Amino acid sequence: MNANHAHRKTNGSILPCLLTALALTGTLLVGCSSKQSEKQEGQITVGFSQIGAESGWRTANTQSIKSEAEKRGVDLRFSDAQGKQENQIRAIRTFIQQKVDVIAFSPVVETGWQPVLEEAKRAGIPVFLTDRAVDVTDDSLYVSFIGSDFIEEGRRAGEWLAKKMDGKAKIAELQGTTGSAPAIDRKKGFEAFIADYPEMTIIKSQSGDFTRAKGKEVFEAFLRSPEGSEINALYAHNDDMALGAIQAIEEAGKKPGTDIVIVSIDGVHDAFQAILDGKLNCTVECNPLIGPQVFDAVEKYLAGEELPKRIQIEEGVFDENIVTQEVLDKRQY
């Protein structure tokens, strides 16, 4: 009896503490690093919800936005969604309550944004999308989408591969996270381009979740499959999966970059290193340094200018002929 009683008592006192702690964690997650500084007259407040710190690319993207905001004296309320849509929706709702001037975010997935964007519209807060698009029926829900064109990236990867392989290839494809905008569009763009080359076929395609570990595991399975020995090209939706696949290819006793030609997208530091090492053939850049272009657009909009629905980011294609140690040293991410 005694023990039971004591037990209940501890529980009783712990639970409220715990709830408070949880609530605190919640506010921390949402309102992170948004310094509640005194708002100066005329200063723009921007609420930005980032997907999360998933890769070097994303870190560079975050850095670019943060440093540009600081440079321009913008009050940036930055929130990290840790890869979860519900966190982003919560962050956007918090921004609406805080009555920020502009909301910007990189959506984790394409769907499910209609309700929260309608709330923002009702509150009269303009929304900018960065880097990834959303799937909504009413495109007046956001002002402009600033970011890379994933379809174009896929198309460029296809174009480079067709040239390199003389239009003949048995391709294995490592897709990104199922349902994410880059995975859908990079696939679409690539497929649309190689459709004109009857001798370029995708013989294997699976999701590698944009990670090295899955990229390696899935490509290992590809190489084991009956068609495995025919694969002579790999198209990976991001560099990390390609880097994982390179390890699988090496462990299977083949030479990545020679036996299997590899093209991927993003242009992260390790990918440039792999190109220098002759293991990766080409990476199509997906430029994360979008801060200047985002805040240009925000300032123009607040000054009353009309903006296009789509603002393209400048980016390049890097293959083994271009990449040298010098190019690598100059990369910011």
Partner 1 sequence: METKTFRSRAATKIVWPVLALALLILVNVLLDARSFNSFTDAFREGAFLHISFKNGYPSGALIDILNHGSKVMILALGMSLVIATGGVDLSVGAVMAISGATAAVLTVRGLPPTVVIPIALLISMVCGLWNGILVGMLKIQPIVATLILMVAGRGVAQMITGAQIITFHSPVMEFIGNGRLAWLPLPFPFILVLIMLFITWVSTRKTAIGLLVESVGSNPTASRFAGVRATSVIMMAYIFSGFCAGIAGLIAASNIKAADPTHAGLLLEMDAIFAVVVGGTALTGGRFFLGGAIIGGILIQTLTTTMYAQDVSADVAPLPKAIVVLIVCLIQSETFRNKLSKTWRRKQS
Contact residues: partner 1, CB under 8 A: 3-4, 7, 10-11, 14, 18, 21, 25, 52-56, 58-59, 82-83, 175, 178-179, 204-207, 209, 211-214, 216-218, 220-222, 224-229, 240, 243-244, 247, 251-253, 270
The residues, any chain, with a CB within 8 Å of residue 332's CB and separated by 6 or more, are 60, 289
Q: Which is nearer to partner 1, 85 or 206 (CB)?
A: 206
CB 281 within 8 A of CB 275: yes
CB 321 within 8 A of CB 282: no
Minimum CB distance to partner 1, residue 121 (Å): 31
Produce one character per residue of 80-98: b if its CB has 16 or more CB atoms within 10 Å, e if not. Answer: bbeeebebbbbbbebbbee
Minimum CB distance to partner 1, residue 180 (Å): 11
Q: Which is nearer to partner 1, 252 or 276 (CB)?
A: 252
CB 207 within 8 A of CB 187: no
Q: Which is nearer to partner 1, 111 or 225 (CB)?
A: 225
Minimum CB distance to partner 1, residue 19 (Å): 10
Minimum CB distance to partner 1, residue 296 (Å): 26
Minimum CB distance to partner 1, residue 48 (Å): 16
Residue 259: count of CB within 10 angstroms of its CB: 12
Minimum CB distance to partner 1, residue 241 (Å): 11
User: Helices 114-122 & 85-97, crossing angle to 10 degrees?
Assistant: 10
Which residue spans within the chain are E strands per DSSP? 45-50, 75-80, 102-105, 127-130, 144-147, 169-175, 200-207, 233-236, 261-266, 282-285, 310-312, 317-319
The residues, any chain, with a CB within 8 Å of residue 310's CB and separated by 6 or more, are 144, 145, 149
Of 163, 123, 130, the C-alpha closest to 145 is 130
Q: Which is nearer to partner 1, 55 or 264 (CB)?
A: 55
The residues, any chain, with a CB within 8 Å of residue 35's CB and separated by 6 or more, are none
Q: Which is nearer to partner 1, 128 or 235 (CB)?
A: 235
C-alpha 284/C-alpha 275 separation (Å) is 12
C-alpha 258/C-alpha 248 separation (Å) is 14
Minimum CB distance to partner 1, residue 216 (Å): 6
Minimum CB distance to partner 1, residue 40 (Å): 30
